[in-house]
Amino acid sequence: MDFDRPLVFDACALINVHASGRLGDILRSIPQPTLVTETVRALELLQTEALDALNPEGDRLGDLIEGGKLVVVDFDSDDEAGLFLDFAAAIGDDGEAASLAVAASRGFAVVTDDKKARRFAVGETLGVPLVYSLEVIEHWSSDLEVPPFVLQTALESLRVNGSYEPARSHPLYGWWQQALALT
Amino acid sequence: MPSSTLDTLDPAELGIRLQRARKRASLTQKDAADVIGAARTTMVAIEKGDRSIRPTELVALARAYNRPVSDFVRERPSVEPFEVQFRAAPGASADDDPIRPVVAEWEDLCMSYLELEEALGSPLPRDYPPEYAAEHLPTELLAESIAASERRRLGLGDGPIPRLRDVLEQEVGLRVFCLPMPTPYSEMYAYDARLGGCLAVNQNHPAERQRWSLAHGYLHFLAHRERPVIHFEGQYQRVPESERLADAFAMHFLLPTASVIRRFAAYGRDGRFTVADLLTVADYFGVGVQTLVLRLEGLRLLPSGTWDRLKDRGFRVRDAQEKLSLDPGSRERADKYPLYYQHLAIEALDEGSITEGRFAELFGIGRVEARQLAEALRERSSGLDEGATTVDLTVGSAQAA
């Protein structure tokens, strides 16, 4: 997949990529700025700290933020904050609403796996490109020609530590199955 | 204008929500005004609905109050806040009362429950009896009469009620949460036309005491429906009639006379009714040993003062129960959330009516934990593979297939 604009990571996607144990490598493989909203950072801080603990060898979220690889962004105008309020009222979730509001306002893409957020973004024709977390991981593995066993370990870690499995209808379900099956 | 949502929200309603959130966060109007860089008078005007709020101000206040912005802007059912209902009730009147945060959490949970029902178009089925008139009869007789009527109405016979909470949730349609409360508090009851009857019992209490609290709170629903109650030990110098009725009802509802006499007779066939018999019968009915002793004393099956004598001899209930491997009330579901609430939450998540973040919020847990819970709920509700849960099992669909 070509990433032609900055990516705003929503909470569920950030947790998924972090749970793979390869957060830093994956973010560095993306040729565009990678961002997270202040709303998501504040909401999910404890969760990501728990994931940091699960991957003591891997990159820590705080370090990636401090190093500038993951940029924390906040609403920079009443217009943007207003968009956030509109989306929060419709979606009922601050994290998803903040990611979509920043992306819609600034022409960025959003990495999210959330069914309701994706449905809302498409239904409201926000014009925000949506990316699955598995697409980001798949991009890392193919772009850097990651050895199959490294990818398998990352996905296994995502499955176990992130308690995540794609639905059968997920566009990368076949890829996931195949990558995990390698021994 | 930057936000169409702010245009459509009633400023007075938003002001009330903001004021309540500020108080919950224990902030003054001056503190809140400082957050948005305004004068205190501006904050007063915002909370009164006299001054419109800018989106960035609302975001800043929500953060300072540690509440999601969506709490303020999404459409929520209009109900009378519990804290307002309880203002006149003894038990939660002072701002620093330790039960206040529990009342706030309980109200949030009841509201979320109703929101789930409305989002899915699946209201909690209700089978409410008309309110029992609490008059004319002596308390004891009235309690026994209501208990017998309710047992009949709910098809409970006169035996033990092993899953009282499930009966109240699923047969009657009450919202029953099991929340950690400070030790002296045992139960809270509130009613609102939209929410219906809402009960909360203290999760920190032993199961058999929780069952007593459930029965006690149920009487308030049956006989004093619109009168909110927070119940705690040492609450009254002189116990009011409504409380005496609730106590007597709980006794008769959990320990129906005929059934208690039958058990007593069965165990006391050799003319002796031992401590082991007492423990076994208490376990059978899922009540505390003291409760059973008092009931048997009341029925004159045991001499009055039996409980005091047992205590004087150093009788320790828990030790004795452990020796006999008894755990009264253990059949009662002890989880915090009603079953239907859990069912609606997983259904809403799976059909995309709520986000994963909201699902986690509904259970007060983190995302990864929420995913594990979602998996467990799916397994519990179906035990089937993905996709199989949506199979229509009604007669018509089977014929069509």
CA atoms of B91 and B108, how far apart (whole Å): 19
For B356-367, what is the mean pLDDT? 93
How would residue A1 be classed by pLDDT, with cut points 50, 70 and 90? low
Listed as own residue / partner, the contacts of A117-125 with beta carbons closer than 8 Å and 24 or more positions apart are A117/A10, A117/A91, A117/A93, A117/B355, A119/B352, A120/A87, A120/A90, A120/A91, A120/A96, A124/A90
A63 in contact with B, Cβ within 8 Å: no
| Cβ pair A15, B367 in contact under 8 A | yes
Contact B180, B201 (CB under 8 A): no
B-chain CB neighbours of A121 within 8 Å are none
Please state, in angstroms and rounded to a whole number, the distance separating the CA atoms of residues B23 and B4. Answer: 27
| A46 lies within 8 A of chain B by CB | yes
- So what's the pLDDT on residue B253? 97
Residue with tokens 């929520």: B76
CB contact under 8 A, B368 and A51: yes
Q: What per-residue confidence (pLDDT) applies to B5?
A: 87
Q: Which residues pair with B202 in a beta bridge?
A: B179
CA-based nearest residue to B346, from B311, B289, B390, B294: B390
By CB neighbour count within 10 A (0-12 exposed, 13-18 middle, 19+ buried), where does A20 fall? buried
pLDDT at res. A151: 96
Residue of A94, A170, A173 to mutate for B, most B C-beta atoms under 10 A: A94
Asked if the model's pLDDT at residue B8 lies above 80, the reply is yes
pLDDT of residue B389: 47
Nearest CA in chain A to B372: A163
* Distance of alpha carbon B9 from alpha carbon B55, whole angstroms: 12
Report pLDDT for B239: 83
Q: What is the pLDDT of residue A51?
A: 72
Q: Give me the sheet containing B175-179, strands edge to edge.
A: B175-179, B196-202, B185-192, B229-232
- pLDDT at position B394: 47
Residue A72's beta-bridge partner residues? A36
CA distances from B294 to B155, B212, B237, B247, B262 (A): 26, 14, 21, 12, 17
Q: Rounded mean pLDDT of B51-73?
A: 95
Core vs surface per residue B212-235: b (16+ CB within 10 A) or e: bbbbbbbbbbbbbeeebbbbbeeb
Residue position matching structure tokens 């915002």: B46
Asked whether the predicted pLDDT for residue B326 surpasses 90, the reply is no
Q: CA dihedral defined by A166, A172, A177, A178, rounded to 10 degrees?
A: -160
CB contact, 8 Å: A19 with chain B? yes
Q: What are phi and psi of B179, to 5 degrees?
A: -115, 145
Show the CA angle centred on residue B31, arms to residues B28 and B35, nearest 5°: 140
A37: CB partners within 8 A, 6+ apart: A8, A72, A73, A74, A95, A98, A99, A102
- Give the whole-angstrom CA distance, residue B118 versus residue B113: 9
Touching check for B18 and chain A: CB below 8 Å? no
Cross-chain Cβ contact B74/A119 below 8 Å? no
Cβ–Cβ < 8 Å for B43, B33: yes
Chain A residues with beta carbon closer than 8 angstroms to that of B357: 11-12, 43, 93-96, 114
Lowest mean pLDDT among A88-97, B223-232, B263-272, B370-379: B263-272
* Model pLDDT for residues A34-71, shown as the tens digit of each residue: 999 999 988 776 667 777 777 777 788 888 999 999 99
- Which residues have CB under 8 Å from A154's CB, separation 6+? A20, A21, A22, A137, A141, A146
Which residue type is seen at A51? Answer: L
State if pTM tops 0.80: yes
Question: How many C-beta atoms surround the C-beta of residue B41 within 10 A?
Answer: 11
Closest CA to A156 of A142, A176, A128, A129: A176
**What helix, strand, coil percent values describe chain A, rounded to 5?**
60, 10, 30
Give the pLDDT mean for B352-375. 93
Can you give the pLDDT at residue A52?
76
User: Is the torsion defined by CA of B220, B221, B227, B231 positive or negative?
Assistant: positive
* Mean pLDDT of chain B, nearest integer: 88
> What distance in Å separates the CA atoms of residue B120 and residue B376, rounded to the nearest whole number?
21
CA distance B187 to B170: 19
Q: What is the mean pLDDT of residues A83-87?
A: 96
* Start-to-end Cα distance in chain B: 54
Query: What count of CB pairs under 8 Å joins A to B?
Result: 117
3-state secondary structure of B176: strand
Stretch (H or E) spanning A109 = strand A109-111
H or E element in which residue B236 lies: none
Instruction: Give residue-wise pLDDT tens across range A129-174.
Output: 999 999 999 999 999 999 999 999 999 999 999 999 999 999 999 9
For residue B400, pLDDT beyond 50: no
Mean pLDDT of B381-386: 58
- Mark yes or no for CB contact B63/A42 under 8 Å: yes
Phi, psi dihedrals of residue A111, rounded to the nearest 5°? -95, 110
At residue B2, the pLDDT reads 55
> A128 vs chain B: nearest CA distance in angstroms?
18
Distance between CA atoms of B370 and A162, rounded to whole angstroms? 10
Q: Say yes or no for a CB contact (<8 Å) between B371 and A162.
A: yes
Nearest Cα of chain A lies from the Cα of B33 at a distance, in angstroms, of: 18
Percent pLDDT > 90 in chain A is 78
A79 contact residues in B (CB cutoff 8 A): 2
Tell me, what's the pLDDT at A60? Answer: 85
Residue A18 DSSP one-character state:
H
The pLDDT value recorded for residue B314 is 87
Contact A37, A9 (CB under 8 A): no
Give the closest-approach CA distance of B82 to chain A in angstroms. Answer: 22
Chain A nearest-CA distance from B73, in A, is 5
pLDDT at B291: 94
Instruction: For residues B4-16, give the mean pLDDT.
Output: 90
- Which residues between 75 and 114 in chain A have a beta carbon less than 8 angstroms from any beta carbon of chain B? 75, 77-79, 81-86, 88-97, 114
Whether A88 sits inside 8 A of B386 (CB atoms) is no
Query: Measured between alpha carbons, how far is B297 from B299 in angstroms, rounded to an integer?
Result: 5
> Under an 8 A CB cutoff, do A97 and B357 touch?
no
Question: Which residue shows structure tokens 């110098």?
Answer: B237
Instruction: Quick: pLDDT tens for B147-204.
Output: 999 999 999 999 999 899 999 999 999 999 999 999 899 999 999 999 999 999 999 9
User: What's residue A56's pLDDT?
Assistant: 72
The reported pLDDT for the residue numbered B397 is: 47
Closest CB to B56 among A75, A96, A162: A75
Residue found by looking up tokens 């933020």 in the block: A65
Return phi, psi of residue B186, to 5°.
Answer: -120, -35
Out of A44, A94, A162, closest to residue B68 by CB: A94
* pLDDT bucket at B90, cuts 50 / 70 / 90: low
Statement: residue B4 has pLDDT above 90? no
> By CA distance, what is A51's nearest residue in B?
B368
pLDDT at B323: 87
B386 vs A contacts (CB less than 8 Å):
167-168
Q: Given an 8 Å threshold on Cβ–Cβ distance, is A15 in contact with B386?
A: no
Q: Which residues on chain B are in Cβ contact (under 8 Å) with A94?
A: 68-70, 357
**Sequence-separated (6 or more) residues with CB below 8 Å from residue B240:** none
Average pLDDT, chain A: 91
Chain A contacts in chain B segment 49-108 (CB below 8 A): 54-56, 58-59, 63, 68-70, 73-75
